[in-house]
Structure 1
Amino acid sequence: MITVLLIEDNEMNRDMLSRRLARKGYRIVTAVDGSEGVKLAGELRPDLILMDLSLPILDGWEATRLLKGSSETKDIPVIALTAHAMKSDEEKAFQAGCDDFDTKPVVLDRLLDKMRNVLNQ
């Protein structure tokens, strides 16, 4: 079973997306801020990380930089999830090390395609 670490501070978004992905057969682990997400990624080594960018304590850009800078977690694909839909936000996410980028509100089929793509690379 593929393990996905969902790092999302908004409880409603986190719960909704967790349930939808679990119904598709993914094992979901959640974190509520970037610091907790980085810690869990190091401990659990998930197959994929879904990273909100606007997070408390440690934002998603910095959390991704830390993950991609660590030999233990650098190969875990990260998909940025954000309501920031500007082209510059997408560029900033890729510069931080994200493997893909998707906007909120999440369109499940589009996200699932992106997840399959990064997992198959």
Structure 2
Amino acid sequence: MYLTNSFISNGRKQYSQQPLVLAVEDHEDSLLLISYALESLGCRFICQKDSSATVLVAKEYQPDLIMLDILLPTLNGLEVVRQLKQEALTKDIPVVAVTALATRENQKAIMGAGFDEYLCKPYMIEELEAVIQKILSGNFYRNSAYQLCQE
């Protein structure tokens, strides 16, 4: 599955109306949570552990949203978002920072780097879903992962 450098669910963007989300996270548990939430919301997704290929993947697949950790081993999320915002093919893709950096100064620097939203770890699955729905307008909503866990 997505335990390799990247995993793509349900094919490429042009074959579906479902939103495509690129999630870049180096911790497997966090990737699992994000992928579970995305699947429950009816999204297709690409999961990546290596941030060095993020810009290339974003250019090729044109995701509707990028969820990007900040503290990544190869390229940090701040550098990745700067590169994304400089590329014509990726500059308009919304990018959500998903990070443990929680101070006001950190949040200000992160948002100043070009991120569209900020989600602080640890987060509740409802918070993750709310950010995804806000950015993607919620047109695709099926069941929330939180509701599925309650059943």
TM-score of the superposed pair, with normalisation by structure 1? 0.92
Q: Name 1:113's counterpart in structure 2.
A: 130
Cα shift at 1:12: 1.5
Moved more, 108-117 or 27-36: 108-117
Paired residues of 1:33 and 1:59 also in contact (CA < 8 A) = no
Q: 1:66 aligns with which of 80, 83, 90?
A: 83
Comparing both structures, which one devotes a greater share of its residues to helix?
Answer: 1
Q: How many residues get paired?
A: 120
- Unmatched tracts of structure 1, length 5 or more: none
Q: Name 1:78's counterpart in structure 2.
A: 95
How do 1:1-121 and structure 2 match up within 5 A? Answer: 1-120=18-137
Which digits, 9 at most, give the CA deviation of each residue in 1:63-102, with x for residues without a partner? 0000011111000000000011111111111111000101
Moved more, 48-57 or 34-43: 34-43
- Unmatched tracts of structure 2, length 5 or more: 1-17, 138-151
Cα shift at 1:116: 2.3
- Measure the CA separation in 2 of the matches of 1:62 and 1:10: 19
Cα shift at 1:20: 2.5
Select the structure of larger CA radius of gyration: 2
- Alignment RMSD (CA, Å): 1.2
- Measure the CA separation in 2 of the matches of 1:40 and 1:18: 17
**AA matched with 1:79:** V
- Measure the CA separation in 2 of the matches of 1:22 and 1:75: 24
- Give runs of ≥4 in structure 1 deviating > 3 Å: none
- Measure the CA separation in 2 of the matches of 1:94 and 1:76: 15
Paired residues of 2:37 and 2:129 also in contact (CA < 8 A) = no
SS in 2 for 1:67: helix
- Measure the CA separation in 1 of the matches of 2:134 and 2:39: 18
- Measure the CA separation in 2 of the matches of 1:71 and 1:107: 34
- Measure the CA separation in 2 of the matches of 1:17 and 1:51: 11
